[in-house]
Amino acid sequence: MIKVVIVDDSSDLREGLQIALKEHDDEFICIGAFSDAESAVKNVETLLPDVILMDINLPGISGIEAVKKIKRSLPKTDIIMLTVFAEDKTVFDSLCAGACGYITKNTTPEQILDAIRDVSKGGSPMSPRIARMVVGSFRNFIVSSLTEREQEVLTLLSKGNSYKMVAELLFISHDTVRFHIKNIYKKLEVHSLPEAFAKVKKFG
């Protein structure tokens, strides 16, 4: 039995989702429904839900802020964001806050139930449009995470220049080149120059 909490300021949506969950009471049980994030944050530690359906635009603190607070106390609880409109920054901020799924409110009740099933099995349910946004946001994040100087160092190395040659071309020391390379590896989560080149090529 999957324990679900609904957080949305629309009473119609809350009631509709509760009905949909009740119609599948062999799989799901709605253990709480809240119209604001503050009430949800206050009660979820006692309710211990498996999955939370969280509206992103709420009165008071936002759904994204609520996710941050809830994940600190209940790191194993899965949170699916619900929203009317999907914007790149909102999507990315929600996922960074700890949400593991993101679907629009025009999704059918059955699709929302499928999303709950999916996330309970370790998946990350997203509508196709939002999935494309996430890929785009991640691509931009990878490229923009490198400073201008780090990009210069990586570009020169990709052209076959040695560390010494890069240092001379950029008028910096050999140790400074190594420092930049260390930061590049850390930011791109790689362990070699070929891996760094491949990752930047893939996402850049």
Domains and CATH numbers, the chain: 2-140 (3.40.50.2300), 145-203 (1.10.10.10)
The confidence score (pLDDT) of residue 203 equals 61
The confidence score (pLDDT) of residue 140 equals 65
Tokens of 74: 């209940």
The confidence score (pLDDT) of residue 102 equals 86
The confidence score (pLDDT) of residue 112 equals 93
The confidence score (pLDDT) of residue 39 equals 96
- Edge-first strand order for the sheet with 51-55 is 28-34, 2-7, 51-55, 78-83, 101-104
The confidence score (pLDDT) of residue 97 equals 86
The confidence score (pLDDT) of residue 38 equals 96
The confidence score (pLDDT) of residue 73 equals 93
Which residues of the chain are modeled with pLDDT < 50? none
Q: End-to-end alpha-carbon separation of the chain, Å?
A: 43
With contact defined as beta carbons under 8 Å apart, do 130 and 91 qualify? yes
